[in-house]
Amino acid sequence: MPVYEYRCSSCGRKFAKLVGMVAGASADGLECPKCGGTDVQRLISRFAGVRSDDERLDSLENAALAGGDDPDSMSNLLREMGREMADDGDDGMEEYLEESERELYDGRAGDDEGFA
Residues 14-28 pLDDT 10s: 998 887 766 555 567
Q: What is the pLDDT of residue 88?
A: 47
Phi-psi region of 66 (alpha: psi -120 to 50; beta: other; left: phi over 0): alpha
In this structure, which topology does domain 3-42 adopt according to CATH? Answer: Rubrerythrin, domain 2 (2.20.28)
First to last CA, the chain: 53
The Cα 82–Cα 105 span in angstroms is 22
Q: What is the pLDDT of residue 52?
A: 81
Q: For residue 36, name the pLDDT band (cuts at 50, 70, 90).
A: very high
0.95 surpassed by pTM: no
Residues 37-84 pLDDT 10s: 999 999 887 766 777 878 877 877 777 777 667 777 777 777 777 776
